[in-house]
Amino acid sequence: MKISEYIEALSDLMCKHGDLEVETYSMDVTRYTAPTPRLRYKKILKGREHKARFFNSVTDDESRKGEKVIEI
């Protein structure tokens, strides 16, 4: 989903229901305020890696820095 599509979906909800709190939940079903969106990079996987991950500038080689995405 593109940022513009996400904003449009949120705008539609806000118009219909007002300026509501945005919440999410963890695996143990604890509800909490959704985190602030931030810029991240997809990690370029190699060899047998198959699990999608975000690039980590501390532990990953710069050659594994993929395309920009927004993490929510």
DSSP letter (8 states) at residue 67: E
User: Rounded to the nearest 5°, which phi and psi values hold at 56?
Assistant: -120, 110
Predicted confidence at residue 27, as pLDDT, reads 85
- Residue 62 DSSP SS3: helix
Residue 45 reports pLDDT greater than 90:
yes
Where do the domains of the chain lie?
A: 3-71
| H helix or E strand, kind and range, residue 13 | helix 3-17
Q: Which pTM does this prediction carry?
A: 0.75
- Please compute Rg for the chain using Cα positions: 16
Encode pLDDT of 3-37 as tens digits: 999 999 999 999 999 999 999 988 888 998 989 99
Encode pLDDT of 50-64 as tens digits: 999 999 999 999 999
Predicted confidence at residue 5, as pLDDT, reads 96
